[in-house]
A and B are shown apart, each in its own frame.
Chain A
Amino acid sequence: MKRLGRGPVARRWRSGTSGHRGVRELTGYFRDKMGGGWLGYRGLFAALLASPQFGLSVYWFTYTSVSLGTGTFYLTLIPILIAVPLIALLPGKSGITPRLLGTYALWALLPYTLYDWGRVPMNLIFGIPFWDHWYDWGASIMGTSGTIFRYDTLTTGLASHVLRGWGFGVAYYILVRRVTLVSAFAMGWAMTFFYWLVFPVWVLTDALPPWIWWFTAWMSHMVFALGLWLSPKVFAYYRKAY
């Protein structure tokens, strides 16, 4: 172990006021199994539970050559089936107990709900729909032929969309040591960047999105971030009430 001596720098290091403190905290954060721990089991479990996006990504990046049904089976259903028993069997590795996983699963219901409600005014004011892709997803999952604008394709696409938002929410709660507004917005921005990069190139291949599309993508993910931050507070409120 490095000897620090008795000088002023060493005193600051021990008192935690040194600039090195930030570095130590940061590296510790990525290894801390009780929160953070991106490089350990928490990172693995977050990746497995965010897998609904992997299934859709394969569908996008192959320009729909791989159906969303295939992507959802291999890159969503199976990863989640691996994640849930592993989390339950290895609570000592990640600090996540089955009860905690259930809590995260409940918390993750609010962010994507607010995300969708946040997009409603954009449709009413600017005419930007947000459910148009759900028809494509539902038709790809079910192998629908002929017209795809049906309620069964719409609801299947909606289920796929919900699963994706829920997965991102659970992944966030697994990866953060503490739910804060700053980390929630950081997650919202990460999702916005991904959305901005992927959609114009791989998804909206028939047209260039106007600026209002970029604004709507940003706005809705910021609402998602607010949901991430708000959900534990709502949960705590109702748990006290009942």
Chain B
Amino acid sequence: MDKGSDSAGYKRSWKTTLYAVLAMQGFGLVFGSVVFGAVVTSQPPSAYPVFGYGKPPPILIDGLSSFYWAIPGAVIGFIFLYLAMISRNLPVPMRSKMGSSVATLKTMNEKGD
């Protein structure tokens, strides 16, 4: 069983893969922004010098909380999640206009990533 070459029946298109990965990046930015904000506002600064000069404090912009970065992250995440959902390849049986025969739509995306 070789997972690396196991692509039989694997129908996720490169578009879906790309959108899903980008959606993850967006939601990851949300998480990172929140954790960054929580850490820099809760953890004490350096109490003693490290290697003689001390580590620099984080760069913070007055009035621009890191929590705000969660907003574009969420927007990016939801947009690409939506795109990933609608680009998924699912074979959908569809009735013809005559009502008796069933035609299956051609698979739109047959390549695996």
Please tell me if the beta carbons of B17 and A214 are within 8 angstroms of each other in the complex: no
Query: B70-113: contact bitstring with A at CB < 8 Å (1 yes, 0 no)?
Result: 00000000000000000000111100000000000000000001
Measured between alpha carbons, how far is A34 from B3 in the docked complex, in Å? 11
Q: Is A81 an interface residue (CB 8 A)?
A: no
Contacts of B58 in A (CB 8 A): 208-211
A17/B32 contact (C-beta < 8 A), A200-B39, A201-B39, A207-B46 known: no
Count contacts on B: residues with CB < 8 A to the other chain: 36
**Shortest Cβ gap from A35 to chain B (Å):** 8
Interface residues of A in 160-194 (CB under 8 A from B): 173, 176-182, 185-186, 189, 192-193
Q: Is A65 an interface residue (CB 8 A)?
A: no
Count contacts on A: residues with CB < 8 A to the other chain: 38
Stretch with Cβ within 8 A of B (4 or more), from A67-75, A138-146, A232-240? A232-240
Contacts of B39 in A (CB 8 A): 200-201, 208-209
Please tell me if the beta carbons of B3 and A208 are within 8 angstroms of each other in the complex: no
Measured between alpha carbons, how far is A201 from B41 in the docked complex, in Å? 12
Contacts of A210 in B (CB 8 A): 55-59
Q: Which of B3, B21, B46, B113 contacts A206 (CB 8 A)?
A: B46
Contacts of B40 in A (CB 8 A): 208
Measured between alpha carbons, how far is A200 from B40 in the docked complex, in Å? 9
**Closest CB pairs A-B (n = 8):** A232-B4, A207-B55, A207-B46, A200-B39, A210-B58, A182-B20, A236-B4, A179-B3
